Structure 1
């Protein structure tokens, strides 16, 4: 199962991501500590105003160079520039923002950034279930795939009636079958 995930996870997550609409104009950035083989590392995450994960990066540090690397990678990956970025009060963001995206409005608040803070929860649950990650490379391969695939099967159920939820899940499983190639396989008699 692990080999299957390593081989196909990124491919499936990329296919799902290509089906998503363009990222929004407001990006929420945050970093959180994770343990990799007993050592602490930083998980940087960018989320748009709709809660779609734009990028994830695992790094050793939480300084200006790390923030700059994350912002550049984010802009390259999304091929877009937001109108507003929202961060916590980490000073590394301000320095990197001035250097990389000086024309973009930067809002710093520990309360406005809840969208990014909440997007860490599924990762934390998965990290707990896996008893942590073993390596930085393994975490960097797994987390973007997980953040692309997991929301596909977790619509915001509390916001929709049960009948709409069932219809939505039918559509999502049909998309999943299309992406994985299962839809073209013959069925057993």
Structure 2
């Protein structure tokens, strides 16, 4: 049962593919049963894995870039620690305060609060962090220094191509 759920989560297999694979091993399971296993076990597995995740640093570098996903331009928000290890990421359709706030809330909810966040000159990231700090007892220190973000900025090079709306602009 667990192996079947793992295959479903890890690989792009359909429930019917899994039903066939199990049938080849003389295990008679309907695809709807596999689906029930997935619904029941995935939240339990996620909770267990989160207990064993590696800790992230308290100093984050955050940036966003745009990438084309299935023909549509999306913004990729990403946070890395001092060593360049990815803390979290989020795709959004817009680059605004609401998108930035959603990213920070998701990252903080899953990894705890950072002491310091370094961002570039993005007004939406700054506004989102100010809004989050307004609701907290201990504020997150915000550093808005473009060159301290080089770890995450350099990593975006592999993703970036020119966005049609930003003619003449080299990245974000």
Q: TM bucket by the smaller chain?
A: 0.5 to 0.7
Q: 2:9 aligns with which of 4, 7, 10?
A: 7
Structure 1 residues 2-26: Cα deviation after superposition (integer angstroms, max 9, x where no partner): xx98621698xx9599452x11111
1:106 matched to 2:142? The reply is yes
- Counting helix residues as a fraction of each chain, which structure ranks higher? 1
Gap runs ≥5 in structure 1: 129-189
Structure 1 residues 119-165: Cα deviation after superposition (integer angstroms, max 9, x where no partner): 3356x3xx99xxxxxxxxxxxxxxxxxxxxxxxxxxxxxxxxxxxxx
Structure 1 residues 21-68: Cα deviation after superposition (integer angstroms, max 9, x where no partner): x11111000101100122211001011112111111000000000011
The structure showing larger relative contact order (alpha-carbon pairs under 8 Å, at least 6 residues apart) is 1
Structure 1 residues 82-102: Cα deviation after superposition (integer angstroms, max 9, x where no partner): 111000101011111111135
* Aligned equivalents of 1:113, 1:49: Cα separation in 2: 10
Task: Report the count of equivalent residues.
Answer: 119
* Aligned equivalents of 2:87, 2:51: Cα separation in 1: 9
Distance 1:17 1:6, change over 3 A: farther
1:32 matched to 2:59? The reply is no
* Aligned equivalents of 1:98, 1:16: Cα separation in 2: 28
TM-score (norm 2): 0.59
Q: Where does residue 93 of structure 1 map in the other structure?
A: 125
Distance 1:47 1:88, change over 3 A: same
1:51 matched to 2:84? The reply is yes
Q: 2:94 aligns with which of 45, 61, 84?
A: 61
Gap runs ≥5 in structure 2: 1-5, 12-41, 162-172
1:76 matched to 2:78? The reply is no
Q: 1:115 aligns with which of 136, 151, 167?
A: 151
* Aligned equivalents of 2:68, 2:81: Cα separation in 1: 25
Give the structure with higher Rg (CA): 2
Query: Cα RMSD between the aligned structures?
Result: 3.1
TM-superposed deviation, 1:77: 1.1
